[in-house]
Each structure stands twice: as structure tokens, then as C-alpha cells.
Amino acid sequence: MSKQAEKQSNGRSASGTSELVKMLQKAYRMEVETVANYLANSVHLDGVRAEEVKRSLAEDVT
């Protein structure tokens, strides 16, 4: 199937689809990074209220 026929059949070009896939991959990587940061911050608590937060989390988990 030619590119023109492909574009007409599904309403978008192959390059547009490729760009969309790249954008989705970048968004996914950013979400994974956010989750990794949340996990790291929940394990390595720091600051004035760190001990209080640690105890509270420990009570919720056990």
C-alpha cells in the first residue's frame, strides 16, 4: 500500500503515527521516573518531621 493510500485509509500519515509513538514513550518514561522518585522519597525520609512520618507509615503498614 502506498503512503498516500495508507494516509487516506486511516486518516494519519506514518510520520504522524511515529511522532505520536515517540511522545507516548516519553510520557511513559516520565511517569516511571515520577513513581521511582515517590518510592525513593517514601523510603528515605528526611527533614524535621521524618521520625513522626516513619512511625505513622509503619503503623499503617503493619
- Which tens digits make up the pLDDT trace of 3-32? 555 555 566 788 899 999 999 999 999 999
Q: Which three cell numbers stand for residue 54?
A: 516513619
CB 60 within 8 A of CB 52: no
Q: What is the largest CA-CA distance in the chain?
A: 65
Q: How confident is the model at residue 39 (pLDDT cuts 50, 70, 90)?
A: confident
Distance, CA of 52 to CA of 6 (rounded, Å): 60
User: How many domains, the chain?
Assistant: 1
DSSP 4: H
What beta strand segments (E) does the chain contain?
A: none
pTM of this structure:
0.54
DSSP SS3 for 40: helix
* Domain extent at residue 16: 3-61
